[in-house]
Chains A and B, each alone.
Chain A
Amino acid sequence: MRREDLVCATVAVLAEAETVLPSWVEEAIRGAAERETSPIARSQFSAILDNIGIASEDGVPLCQDTGLPVFCLEIGRDLSIPPFLEEAIAEGVRRATEEIPLRPNAVDPLTRKNSGDNTGPGMPDIIIDLVPGDSLRITAFPKGAGSENGSFLAMLNPADDPLDFVAREVAKRAGRACAPVFVGVGIGGTFDLAARLAKRALLHMPGSSDLDMALLSEINRIGTGPMGLGGDATALAVRIETALCHTASLPVAVNLQCWANRSSSATVRDDGWSID
């Protein structure tokens, strides 16, 4: 694998993610817009759909919050992992920040000093999955603060009802998280595994199990609506992922994603790269 290929693929997936929504996301928004009955909520959908058109037409970021750089790498088990892996992706982020451009969002958590290029300690955040094959698939999943700030984790009592808890909390937080939202739910595991399950649930969207659908309709029954202004569409999709947990524990994590559920993937091979 050539270093320059991985750098270019990183810039390309960020550029596409920031300006064009995945088609299933846009379809989910259009579907909810058609079903929406509240006039105020319909005005929000109309602006959202105009915005989607303008961003892809003008090639500008959908949202000024271009997010923190989060990537998911699916690494083929037969691939020899290049020594420049993380460093080339960071280089791609710096180049994308300059070229697209992206807003510099990454700051030191204590001094609040901005690194200026969206990279630095811990950034980009790279999630690694091992898969069969000999190629590398890189997915950009830029994460804005509005929906990230609405995310939460709780160590419930095993006697509690985790789905009811999630529905109530999401309804309360979705307005500030730029609803209609996508809801990634992790139930079980340990403290940190629950959070990772929730993040992966977002990456594996949309969900389709009976439980996913039941939780989706429970969230939407509450009526928080687009941007918290009231309406039918509070969430567009839910996916629940679970892991075994300790008999004395019930960890529950929810990673919220705003309507601008941005992602884009590319595959990098020994002899080149292409957008998926």
Chain B
Amino acid sequence: MKTPISQDEVAALRAGDLVWISGTVYTARDRVHALLATGEELPVDLAGAVIYHCGPLIRDGTVLSAGPTTSGRVGRYTRDVVDRGVRLIVGKGGISEDAEALWGRAAYLAYPGGCGALAARHLLVRRLHLPDLGMAEGLWELEAEGWGPMVVAIDSFGGDLYREAKRSEMRSE
């Protein structure tokens, strides 16, 4: 998929699909989400955007390692993010009941946790916004090229692989 992402492209995704991404990706974790929730204007346009729950390891403008961080910590801001036009959220571990904020508008993609070196081969640094937040918490604008595999873990119709895995957990009791 190429950024910016259209509404139709989101609607074509189903939980369990595999996706590769090319184009602009913005990192956002705890501090950027907290800013966003206060209604603060961000220095980037999030219409049709892909955001990545990630605090990368970057040296001299090169991405060395950039796997996902746990999405559960920022799940509560999903509605704020989607309201600003974000169509794909990339992270790990899912966002539990906050996934409802995605319905009809956006999808959540799981990138394999810990695969920072693999991701680094597909991500270039464009620039760092909000540098005062530091390396991990800053808002990095990255250029992705054939970056994946992402699993569509939560689609825009409520399909949710984490919930299905939980259901099989309950069946096993």
Q: Do A and B come from one complex?
A: yes
Name A residues whose Cβ lies closer than 8 Å to a Cβ of B.
Answer: 40, 43-44, 46-48, 50-51, 54-55, 58, 60-66, 101-105, 114, 145-146, 149, 171-172, 175-178, 221-231, 258-260
Cβ of B97 within 8 Å of any chain A Cβ, yes or no, is no
For the complex formed, measure the closest distance between the CB of A33 and the CB atoms of chain B, giving whole angstroms: 12
* 15 more A-B residue pairs beyond the given contacts A221-B172, A230-B164, with a C-beta to C-beta distance below 8 A: A40-B161, A43-B112, A47-B115, A54-B120, A60-B65, A61-B65, A62-B65, A63-B113, A64-B56, A64-B57, A146-B92, A176-B70, A227-B93, A227-B113, A230-B168
A61 near B116: Cβ-Cβ < 8 Å? yes
B78 at the interface (CB under 8 A from A): no
A66-B55 Cα distance, complex, nearest whole Å: 11
Counted as pairs of residues, one from A and one from B, with CB atoms less than 8 Å apart, the total is 145
List, in ascending order, chain B residues with CB within 8 A of A104's CB.
134-136
Tell me the smallest distance from the CB of B77 to a CB of chain A, in Å: 17
Chain A residues, CB < 8 A from B149: 43, 46-47
In the complex, chain A residues whose CB is within 8 Å of the CB of B55: 64-65, 103
Residue in A40, A46, A101 whose beta carbon sits within 8 Å of that of B57 in the complex: A101
Q: What is the bound-complex CA distance between A259 and B55, given in angstroms?
A: 19
Q: State which of B112, B116, B135, B168 has its C-beta within 8 Å of the C-beta of A44.
A: B112
CB pair A175 B117 closer than 8 Å: no
Chain A residue with minimal CB distance to B168?
A223
| A residues less than 8 Å from B64 (CB atoms) | 60-61, 64, 101
- Contacting pair B117 A60 (CB below 8 A): yes
Decide if B165 touches A60 in the complex (CB within 8 Å).
Answer: no
List residues of chain B with CB under 8 Å of any chain A CB. Answer: 16, 18, 54-57, 59, 64-67, 69-70, 72, 92-94, 110, 112-118, 120-121, 134-136, 149, 151, 153, 161-162, 164-165, 168-169, 172
A227–B161 alpha-carbon span in the complex (Å): 10
Report whether B67 and A64 are in contact in the complex, using a CB–CB cutoff of 8 Å. Answer: yes
Contact: B116 with A176, CB < 8 Å? no
Identify whether the interface residues of B are mostly helix, strand, loop, or mixed: mixed
Are the CB atoms of A228 and B114 closer together than 8 Å? no
Nearest-CB residue, chain B, relative to A38: B165
Q: Give the nearest-CB partner of A18 in chain B.
A: B65
For residue A98, which residue of chain B has the nearest CB? B59
Residue of B nearest to A224 (CB): B165
Of A60, A149, A222, which one neighbours B70 at CB under 8 angstroms? A149
Known: A51-B116, A60-B120. A65 touches B67 (CB 8 A): yes
Expressed in whole angstroms, the Cα–Cα distance for A150 and B82 within the complex equals 27
| CB-based contact B151/A40 at 8 Å | yes
Neighbouring A residues of B112 by C-beta, 8 Å: 43-44, 47-48, 51, 226-227
**List of B residues within 8 angstroms of A51 by Cβ:** 112, 114-118
With A40-B16, A43-B151, A64-B57 in contact, do A260 and B136 touch (Cβ < 8 Å)? no
Chain B residues with CB under 8 A of A64: 54-57, 64-67, 116
A178 to B162, CA, bound (A): 13
Q: Which of A103, A177, A226, A228 meets B135, CB within 8 Å?
A: A103
> Bound state CA distance, A63 and B116, in angstroms?
4
